[in-house]
Amino acid sequence: MRDHDTEQTPGPGRARRADAERTVRAILAAAERVLSQEPGATMERIAAEAGVARTTVHRRFASREDLVSSLTVLAAQQLEAAVLAGRPDSAPPLVALHEVTAHVLRIKRTWRFAMGVRSDHPEVVRVHTDTRARCVTLFRRARDAGAVRPDVDPDWASRVYYGLIHAAAEDLAEEPAPAELDAAAARVVDTLLTGLGAGDRTTHRAD
């Protein structure tokens, strides 16, 4: 089990001291900032951004791979929390869609780099699988509620949804205000459901 631990802990049963915990957080946050702008940045650069010595980074993360891995796990956990906060399984479909979107947009913006890395860490895989499933379920509920066309492929719907979120996250500020998040989420949901076409929905199907 210890194989899956990415961060280094002092002793077998020992807990980390509070300041060390803070250091770890600082390093992860710094790594996200630096790597999102320069994916190949060195440990030196990350350490500097975090305000610690390079050796300290190596004390907490055995290798560069470990650091990135921890980063993806952290982002995945944040993502899961954001999705769950939107109550995708219990709230009315369209309400849930809006809430989930707003929450995910914030996380996606904050952990831009980490969310873009394909990780095979079991925890990350689990979260992505679960999230995908929740997404499909949500669209199914929306369909049953008559909000989504019956013939829409859930897989395609998910892809489109992810794509729209990605697009919307692009032009968000680094720390968007709640109002901005709401507006962006509304735009995403609106585009997702009605598209950009004019009123007549059959116009372009004439051919």
Q: By C-beta, is 69 or 131 nearer to DNA?
A: 69
Work out the burial of residue 148: count CB atoms within 10 Å of its CB; fewer than 13 is exposed, 13-18 middle, 19 or more buried: buried
Q: Is 43 in the site for a copy of itself (CB under 8 A)?
A: no
* Member of 11, 12, 13, 146 binding a copy of itself (CB under 8 A): 146
Q: From residue 21 to residue 60, what is the string marking binding to DNA with x (rule CB under 7 A)?
A: --x------------------xxx------xxxxxx-xxx
User: Which residues lie across from 61 on neighbouring strands?
Assistant: 7
Instruction: Judge whether 109 and 172 are in contact, CB under 8 Å.
Output: yes
Q: By C-beta, is 13 or 199 nearer to a copy of itself?
A: 199
Q: Is 67 in the site for a copy of itself (CB under 8 A)?
A: no
Instruction: Give the list of residues 6+ apart from residue 182 with CB closer than 8 angstroms, or none.
Output: 102
Q: From residue 101 to residue 120, what is the string marking binding to DNA with x (rule CB under 7 A)?
A: --------------------
DSSP track, 16-63: PPHHHHHHHHHHHHHHHHHHHH-TT--HHHHHHHHTS-HHHHHHHBSS
Residues in contact with DNA by CB under 7 A are 10-11, 14, 16-20, 23, 42-44, 51-56, 58-60, 62-65
